[in-house]
Chains A and B, each alone.
Chain A
Amino acid sequence: MRPRLRLWGKKRGGRMSGWWFVGSLGEALFFASFFLVGILCFTTIVVWQFLSPSTQVVRIGYGFWLLTTVSAAGIVLGAVGFWYRVLKVATSDEHREVIAKHGIVSRPNQPHIKTVLPPTVPLLSSFTDSPGAKLAYRLPCEWPGTGSLIAIGLFAMFWNAMVAVFTVFALRGLLGGDIQYRLLILIVPAIYIGLRSGQLFFKSYVQAIGIGSTTVEIEDLPLVPGEKYKLLLVQYGRLVIKNLTIRLVCEEESTYHFGTDIRTEQEVVRQLPILNQGRSRIDWGRPLELECEVSIPSDAMHSFQSLHNAIHWKIIVEGEANRWPSYCRSFPVVVYPHVRTKPFSLSS
């Protein structure tokens, strides 16, 4: 296939269009040159400073320290990048993984065996640091709209601040008799965007806080397949709920490169209903409390977390309320694999 020079086009897909060796060699040369330039600059600046202070170009001060720091950063970046590329070519995937965990010096005749149990399962500390009021643990809440609410808020804040500055300039010109027509033409749509973004932010904010908070408490953590656990759901606020469901969901998550993009895909692979609550009224000081039991299937896959792939277990609470849009709140849990108590024997 004839190589194409792509200046503006975006690379898509994971297919490599060149020889991998040329890419690795290019990367290694780039980092090696970075290292050499860093060394050259660093030695020139420092040695010149001490050997010939009278002819020095950069006197000790902000400029000197800035150049020294940049040169040192170039040396470190170049050295690390170069050796990483060399290791990538010269060692196997397994050997590199072991070096990353145990260091370069290894004992050749002693196999490395991980002793931390259970590996690749998320740590429990972030799930068990909040005790519950009635049951053992209060689960952390993952509200899917938090990121978009913060993003909309930040955008509205910065956009409106920028529009306010330009409006002041335009008004000053208008009052001084120097009417800047181009600025005025640009400000009109900018003000509209600012107002709409502010409106969107406050609408999302009211929706977020209008329906009261939801808490879920659980009897024990980590969850183990084949076991049953008590669950307590508390819904605060002042609203009439038409329907409220609780589900246990298993979700796979994969992160991959698509051309120059990094994408994350999620897919629910298993969901089990826990509770379905009909119409109920909630008032201030009288939250809705629902007790139920969640059973983990004996053939459930355990929670898994690696660099680019994960399997998450979550308790999902979905509700429909009068005069409010439907809402969904997610409470992650950790499922451990079955642990056999009988230790293995090496006698054979």
Chain B
Amino acid sequence: MIRLLGLQPTYMPHDLLEFEYRVSNVDQNSISAVEASVVWLTEGKGTEDLGVHSFQRLTGNSLSATDWSIPQKIQVPLPDSPLSYEGRLLKISWCVRIRFYLNDGTELVAQQPFYLGTITREV
């Protein structure tokens, strides 16, 4: 589960994005790696592009030192661009994406979209 800590899912450039994530109903010892990223991606007619603004990967000791019963909190300052945009041929969207890799090869993915800027969406 991912939860944005801002009051609204719309942020302005240079704002601080704060979010927390946790996993439930999964044995802590079965987690082999966790990736937390803040990404923008394009959707629409063209081939999808992906840009990683922030990326954090937990494995090994750093993973075992983490207590997954409490939510993990991350703060990321947001960039100037690209702003969220909904055009005719392309759409630019932002999201927080968490991936949990389990020892049996299972991959759990969760993502939480948010808006950067107010170009095509009024606050």
Contacts and interface: CB of A to CB of B under 8 A. Distances in A.
Interface in A287-311: 299-302, 304, 306-309, 311
A113 B92 contact: no
A344 B77 CA distance: 7
A97 B52 contact: yes
A114 B38 CA distance: 11
Given A94-B55, A344-B15, A337 B117 contact: yes
B102 to A, nearest CB: 14
Main secondary structure of the interface of B (DSSP, over half): strand
A103 interface: no
Contacts of B50: 93-94, 97
Chain A binding site: helix, strand, loop or mixed by DSSP? Answer: loop
Given A308-B42, A308-B47, A111 B55 contact: yes
B104 interface: no
Interface string A104-124: 001011111110011111000
Interface in B38-95: 39-40, 42, 44-60, 62, 74-77, 79-83, 85, 87-90, 92
B23 to A, nearest CB: 16
**Chain A, interface residues (CB within 8 Å), range:** 35 or more
A94 B79 contact: no
Interface of A: 92-95, 97-98, 101, 106, 108-114, 117-121, 252-257, 265, 267, 269, 299-302, 304, 306-309, 311, 336-340, 342-346, 348
Interface of B: 12-16, 18, 35-37, 39-40, 42, 44-60, 62, 74-77, 79-83, 85, 87-90, 92, 97, 99, 117, 119-120
Given A307-B47, A309-B44, A340-B12, 15 more contacts: A92-B35, A112-B54, A113-B76, A117-B80, A118-B81, A119-B51, A252-B90, A256-B47, A302-B82, A307-B49, A309-B42, A311-B85, A337-B117, A340-B14, A344-B16
